[in-house]
Amino acid sequence: MINYIELSKEISYALRHAPWEYELEMDEEGWVSVEQLLDALNKDEKWESISEKDLIVMIQKSEKKRHEIAKGKIRAYYGHSVPMKIAKEEKEPPRVLYHGTARRFLDSIKENGLLPEGRQYVHLSQDVETAHNVGRRHDKHPCVLKINATQAYQDGINFYYGNEKVWLADEIPSKYITEM
């Protein structure tokens, strides 16, 4: 029985953070060859029988859209920390976006705005519920911040499309952020 959650976590780790550990050549949009990824995974006893079909099932079963397969390649939609900046599609954001975070980060966010911290981009959510779930990873009682995305965009802040629920930005100055 394949543990698709565990497989997805390992593939996220490879595609977001450590492609070199799997000898993957990554292009500027974060794509790597499915064959290369399978070669690396198949060396591990745990994943020795994994095929491209299993990757497709993994993506279908996932509760979030994290990975994309096309034309023999696979990539992560968001979350990267690799040294080479992954190019994302710039796009006009919806009027409002949200960011779920821990209470303990609020003072710093008020002072410095939202920063990418360990990742390449700040991650924003399309709706409050998604933001709340993101924040719960950091705090049992997270807070959700509201981002005046249209104003920020008009003032020249770049926004990028992650997937239908995740938007990315280089940073969000605090003047565009309000606590909900």
Binding site for ligand HQG (CB under 6 A): 64, 66, 79, 101-102, 105, 108-109, 112, 114-115, 117-119, 123, 134, 137-138, 166
Nearer to ligand HQG, 23 or 179 (CB): 179
Give the number of other CB atoms < 10 A from CB of residue 106: 14
Nearer to ligand HQG, 119 or 146 (CB): 119
Q: How far apart are CA 40 and CA 4, in angstroms?
A: 17
Nearer to ligand HQG, 43 or 137 (CB): 137
Q: Are 132 and 142 in contact (CB under 8 A)?
A: yes
Nearer to ligand HQG, 73 or 80 (CB): 80
If you search the block for the tokens 């292009």, which residue do you land on?
A: 27
For the CB of residue 34, give the shortest distance to ligand HQG in the complex, in Å: 20
For the CB of residue 134, give the shortest distance to ligand HQG in the complex, in Å: 4
For the CB of residue 71, give the shortest distance to ligand HQG in the complex, in Å: 23
If you search the block for the tokens 């719960």, which residue do you land on?
A: 136
CA 69 to chain centre: 16
Identify how many contiguous H helices and E strands the chain contains and give both numbers.
6, 9
For the CB of residue 45, give the shortest distance to ligand HQG in the complex, in Å: 26
Element (H, E) at 107: helix 106-112
